[in-house]
């Protein structure tokens, strides 16, 4: 066994690897970009080495800098985590050339599964069932479109390289076929530097199931059961579980046999996952791809087997034999994982950025996280900030445990998917195991919306912004304008930043007592009491509720069971005169919804556009966003250039509205 390990990654997976390495007595070495110099994984490691700028292309994707850090630190091994360089055979080869153990499979296996076109060919040769499709050399848009027509719509257009839903488009009708091919190619080239595509028949009633493999360098290869990862948005997973619910015994055996057959065909010798798409009705399975690395969802497999997959990877990389047989791998109970991402689920899962003001995961859940209070979430990396995992004796016990834990999770400072995950777990479809990859579209056809905050929640957020040491409620209103008339109570208006129509007026009535006036004019008396540094207790009609709260940069954040809002202070005035805080956004202003890179501007000054036309394409947190015209008009101004890095709210295009 080597004595030191360099982790060529960041965030929660770097922290998770460090914990196992430390338990095994290994010295740990972190690498970090300029943006991550103060990150949790950097402070957890025994040593940390700077490798470049904030952009992944200047740091975590720089093989030369990773290897220079490994040589300088004397690292005995490199663990790539997932993403970044984890599936690059060049890293495995560089480790071999430098006498450093690579914690992953051999370079030949990585290369064999590195492109979906070649992987599908090898799977077919190994007798693994595959989806009918086209993966030929002629990659012209016209030929790919012809192939799609011959296969028969609907089809899936897929990037040959990479994963994570990038370069994937489902096409259901002829009208959008060629545009989908061009968009998928552009996204694949940007994400992976490889624009090759394949066309596959779209499987109806699809479930996403996968088999975890573990191998060693002595020819042993085992399966560690299967997982279901069907709850997805934009082809990216949100909730995963093991074992997969509702599978017939013969379906499980087919999955295990197919995964092992492919793994043996390429000489697989580490942790990896073979992914399948399965018809939920017939349970017919087809090969999708193989991920030659640790998966984000490896945690649920660890929970049901009691095995530490990172430890097994490290031991395999050191040349040790697996210390168990297939018969000794057992499945105990059920585990479910929810990926918590910095995204606004009410806005189509738009990524968000900001400072983590509150972070307190519940003790009853396993939490793999790379954040803590004060952490800055920027736009340079993936939006996932933590994984919450529940294990129980059966599926419903695990589901209820995770549901309860999400209610008690306290996180504030930026939008997260906490409440969406809670609603997803509570839905009848999920509770009954009736989940396919269109789960979100089927349950929320018009998009998921956060529950509307009531007056009490808004008042709690408002009161939470008051300094606790103030002698009177009037002194407590520091930073807010008071009415000048003698004897008139302090009066401030608050608005839910996510729903500007939801607001409350707060009037101080006496020490610890306030009256709230809701949007509908209804009034109520409430009392407030601080019970901790970040906690306020609100009493109404004799009923008390406790909220976690934080105040930062003009907003009050509130977090409680079923509640999560950002509350902005408005100018003093009557409800009818209040205007929502904002940057003057209107249908004529196309502004950046969040910090990011301007990838493409598709219009020029003077162009006539129609409602729904894409005007600008932005990239943020590895996602491409198309900004569309909200109304018909003429382009009056182009206020940005391609390749500009812009802040949230920055004007990009201004339109002159069409005459009516």
DSSP state of 347: G
Cα separations (Å) of 338 from 64, 373, 423, 492, 637?
35, 20, 12, 38, 43
How many CB atoms within 10 Å of residue 347? 17
Of all residues in the chain, what percent are helix, strand and coil, respectively (each to 5)?
Answer: 25, 35, 40
Instruction: Annotate 179-215 with b (16+ C-beta within 10 A) or e (fewer).
Output: ebbbbbbbbbebbbebbbbbbbbbbeebbbbbbbbbb
For residue 257, the Cα-to-chain-centroid distance in whole angstroms is 31
For residue 281, count CB atoms less than 10 angstroms from its CB and return exposed for 0-12, middle for 13-18, buried for 19 or more.
exposed
Q: Which of 210, 275, 289, 302 is catalytic?
A: 289
Distance CA 60, CA 53 (A): 9
For residue 512, count CB atoms less than 10 angstroms from its CB and return exposed for 0-12, middle for 13-18, buried for 19 or more.
middle
Instruction: Annotate 411-434 with b (16+ C-beta within 10 A) or e (fewer).
Output: bbbbbbbbbbbbbbbebeebeebe
CB proximity list for 170: less than 8 A, separation 6 or greater:
154, 155, 156, 157, 202
How many CB atoms within 10 Å of residue 643? 9
How many CB atoms within 10 Å of residue 278? 25
β-pair partners for 286? 277
DSSP state of 114: S
Cα separations (Å) of 201 from 133, 155, 156, 163, 423?
6, 5, 6, 18, 31
Both tokens assigned to 649 = 């709210």
Both tokens assigned to 121 = 């060919």
Distance CA 538, CA 276 (A): 50
Active site residue 564: no
Nearest to 68 by CA among 98, 33, 26, 37: 98
Distance CA 16, CA 26 (A): 14
- For 165: left if phi > 0, alpha if psi spans -120 to 50, otherwise beta; the answer is left
CB proximity list for 622: less than 8 A, separation 6 or greater:
164, 166, 191, 381, 382, 383
> Hey, which residues are catalytic here?
289
């Amino acid at each position: 066994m080597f004595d030191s390990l360099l982790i060529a990654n960041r965030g929660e997976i770097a922290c998770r690897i460090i914990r196992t390495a430390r338990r095994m007595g290994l010295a740990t070495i972190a690498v970090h970009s300029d943006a991550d110099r103060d990150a949790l994984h950097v402070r957890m490691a025994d040593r940390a080495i700077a490798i470049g700028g904030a952009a992944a292309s200047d740091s975590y994707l720089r093989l030369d800098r990773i290897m220079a850090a490994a040589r300088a630190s004397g690292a005995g091994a490199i663990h790539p985590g997932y993403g970044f360089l984890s599936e690059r055979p060049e890293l495995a080869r560089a480790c071999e050339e430098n006498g450093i153990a690579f914690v992953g499979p051999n370079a030949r296996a990585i290369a064999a599964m590195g492109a979906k076109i070649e992987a599908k060919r090898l799977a077919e040769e190994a007798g693994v069932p595959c989806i009918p499709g086209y993966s030929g050399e002629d990659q012209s848009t016209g030929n790919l479109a012809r192939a799609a027509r011959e296969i028969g719509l609907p089809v899936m257009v897929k990037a040959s390289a990479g994963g994570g839903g990038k370069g994937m488009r489902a096409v259901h009708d002829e009208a959008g076929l060629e545009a989908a091919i061009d968009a998928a190619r552009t996204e694949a080239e940007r994400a992976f530097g490889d624009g090759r595509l394949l066309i596959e028949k779209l499987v109806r009633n699809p479930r996403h199931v996968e088999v975890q493999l573990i191998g060693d360098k002595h020819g042993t290869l085992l399966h560690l059961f299967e997982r279901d990862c069907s709850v997805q948005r934009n082809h990216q997973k949100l909730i995963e579980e093991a074992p997969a619910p509702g599978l017939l015994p013969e379906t499980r055996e087919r999955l295990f046999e197919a995964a092992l057959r492919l793994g043996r065909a390429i000489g697989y010798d580490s942790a990896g996952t073979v992914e399948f798409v399965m018809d939920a009705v017939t349970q017919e399975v087809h090969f999708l791809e193989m991920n030659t690395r640790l998966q984000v969802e490896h945690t649920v497999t660890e929970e049901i087997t009691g095995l530490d997959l990172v430890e097994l990877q490290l031991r395999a990389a050191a040349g040790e034999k697996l210390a168990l047989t297939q018969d000794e791998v057992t499945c105990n109970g059920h585990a479910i994982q929810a990926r918590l991402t910095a995204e606004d689920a009410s806005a189509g899962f738009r990524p968000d950025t900001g400072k983590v003001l509150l972070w307190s995961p519940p003790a009853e859940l396993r939490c793999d996280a790379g954040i803590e209070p004060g952490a800055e979430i920027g736009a340079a990396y993936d939006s996932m900030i933590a994984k919450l995992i529940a294990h129980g004796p059966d599926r419903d016990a695990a589901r209820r445990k995770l549901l309860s834990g999400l209610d008690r999770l306290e996180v504030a400072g930026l939008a997260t998917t906490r409440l969406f995950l809670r609603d997803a777990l509570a839905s009848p479809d999920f509770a009954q195991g009736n989940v396919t990859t269109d789960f979100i579209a089927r349950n929320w056809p018009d998009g998921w919306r956060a529950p509307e905050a009531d007056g009490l929640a808004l008042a709690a957020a408002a009161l939470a912004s008051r300094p606790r040491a103030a002698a009177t409620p009037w002194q407590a209103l520091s930073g807010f304008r008071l009415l000048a008339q003698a004897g008139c109570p302090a009066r401030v208006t608050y608005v839910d930043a996510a729903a500007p129509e939801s607001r409350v007026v707060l009037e101080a009535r006496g020490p610890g007592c306030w009256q709230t006036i809701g949007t509908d004019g209804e009034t109520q008396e409430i009392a407030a009491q601080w019970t901790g540094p970040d906690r306020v207790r609100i009493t109404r009609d004799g009923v008390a509720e406790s909220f976690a709260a934080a105040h930062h940069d003009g907003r009050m954040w509130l977090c409680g069971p079923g509640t999560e809002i950002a509350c902005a202070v408005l100018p003093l005035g009557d409800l009818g005169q209040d205007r929502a805080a904002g940057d003057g956004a209107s249908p004529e202003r196309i502004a950046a919804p969040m910090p990011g890179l301007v990838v493409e501007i598709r219009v020029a000054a003077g162009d006539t556009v129609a409602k729904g036309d894409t005007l600008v394409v932005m990239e943020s947190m590895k996602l491409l966003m198309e900004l569309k015209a909200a109304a018909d008009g003429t382009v009056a101004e182009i206020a940005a250039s391609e390749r500009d890095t812009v802040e949230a709210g920055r004007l990009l295009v201004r339109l002159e509205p069409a005459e009516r």
